[in-house]
């Protein structure tokens, strides 16, 4: 079990209704437990579609999706939602916090929705780890972009997911704030053993990952292990010129 990839997709094909081209055209990727994988590629190459299908937020037309060894493409609702809530955390570019709730209640919301008893001690700990101890009662609207993304990360970590899917998590942040958030994602991998799959356009952000996978026209066309920002930028130029 320990050696099973935390995310494994095989030969995913997806076409959106009405769209002529395949958003995913036979994608296979495996992400090791406790590792950090960046997904890169030109606009429209299928990055978000891959993330959504791998996380069980959307269904591919065909292919296999395994989360922590469980075949999720066969699961019907509500079991798919349950599997997602049990195994997966999400961080989005737009934070997706509820302004009507405090930081504390935003962090606990996924567990409330799942109807499971929240681990409040752990929630306090992850809020501390993202640097927001003492801000639990505040509303997200009063926080900066970087602080809101820290709340979103605490919310993702509070359920002890095996993997966090992050879609452009630093896309709305300035450089320095983005770096702080990437440092926290890296810490979640190194200290908590959470795997992260992160879609990004930014080579400097992808360089925080252990591995970068490159998509073009719905296919995996390249990958780099132990990537540097320069190495990634060079590959991106090559991929975009295809
Ligand atoms: N809801 C949708 N309906 C129709 N077509 C879609 C939909 N979502 C994505 N597509 C198409 O699928 C392809 C892949 O899109 P996707 O958003 O996955 O790419 P991406 O690499 O994440 O792009 P970006 O970097 O611009 O976010 C594109 O051709 C896009 O136009």
Nearest atom in ligand 1 to 52's CA: 18
Tens of pLDDT along the chain (242 residues) come to 567 899 999 999 999 988 888 999 999 999 999 999 999 999 999 999 999 999 999 999 999 999 988 999 888 888 888 888 888 999 999 889 999 999 999 999 998 888 888 899 999 999 999 999 999 999 999 999 999 999 999 999 999 999 999 999 999 999 999 999 999 999 999 999 999 999 999 999 999 999 999 999 999 999 999 999 999 999 999 998 87
The residue whose C-alpha atom lies closest to atom 6 belonging to ligand 1 is 16
* Domains of the chain: residue spans and CATH: 7-240 (3.40.50.300)
Mutation probe of ligand 1 site: the residue of 9, 19, 197 with most atoms within 8 A of C-beta: 19
Is the CB of 23 inside a 6 Å radius of any atom of ligand 1?
A: yes
ipTM of the complex: 0.96
- Which ligand 1 atom lies nearest to the CA of residue 49? 18
Distance 168 CA to ligand 1 centre (A): 14
Ligand 1 geometric centre to CA of 106 (Å): 29
State the DSSP string of the chain.
-TTS-SEEEEEEEE--TT-SS-SEEEEEEEE-TT-EEEEE-STTSSHHHHHHHHTTSS--SEEEEEETTEE-TTPPTTHHHHHHHHHEEEEETT----TTS-HHHHHHHHHHHHT----HHHHHHHHHHTT-TT-TTS-GGGS-HHHHHHHHHHHHHHT--SEEEEESTTTTS-HHHHHHHHHHHHHHHHHH--EEEEE-S-HHHHTTSSEEEEEETTEEEEEEES--HHHHHHHHHHHHT-
Cβ(48) – ligand 1 distance below 6 Å: yes
Residue 17 has φ and ψ, to the nearest 5°, of -55, 130
Question: Does 214 sit in the ligand 1 pocket, CB within 6 Å?
Answer: no
Token pair recorded at residue 36: 């950090």
pLDDT of residue 74: 85
């Amino acid at each position: 079990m320990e050696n099973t990839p935390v995310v494994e997709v095989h030969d995913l094909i997806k076409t959106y209704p009405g769209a002529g081209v395949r958003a995913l055209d036979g994608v296979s990727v495996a992400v090791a437990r406790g590792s950090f994988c960046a997904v890169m590629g030109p606009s429209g190459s299928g990055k978000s579609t891959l993330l959504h299908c791998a996380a069980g937020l959307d269904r591919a037309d065909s292919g296999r999706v395994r989360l922590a060894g469980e075949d999720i493409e066969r699961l019907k609702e509500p079991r798919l939602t349950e599997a997602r809530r049990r195994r997966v955390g999400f961080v989005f570019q737009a934070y997706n916090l509820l302004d009507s709730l405090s930081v504390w209640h935003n962090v606990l919301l996924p567990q409330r929705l799942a109807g499971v008893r929240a681990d409040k001690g752990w929630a306090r700990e992850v809020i501390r780890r993202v640097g927001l101890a003492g801000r639990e009662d505040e509303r997200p609207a009063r926080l900066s972009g970087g602080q809101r993304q820290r709340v979103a990360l605490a919310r993702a970590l509070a359920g002890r997911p095996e993997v966090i899917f992050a879609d452009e998590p630093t896309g709305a942040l300035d450089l320095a704030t983005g770096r702080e958030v990437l440092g926290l994602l890296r810490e979640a991998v190194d200290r908590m053993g959470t795997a992260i799959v992160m879609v990004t356009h930014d080579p400097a952000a992808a360089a925080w990952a252990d591995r970068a996978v490159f998509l073009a026209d719905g296919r995996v066309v390249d990958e780099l292990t132990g990537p540097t920002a320069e190495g990634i930028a060079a590959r991106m130029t090559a991929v975009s010129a295809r």
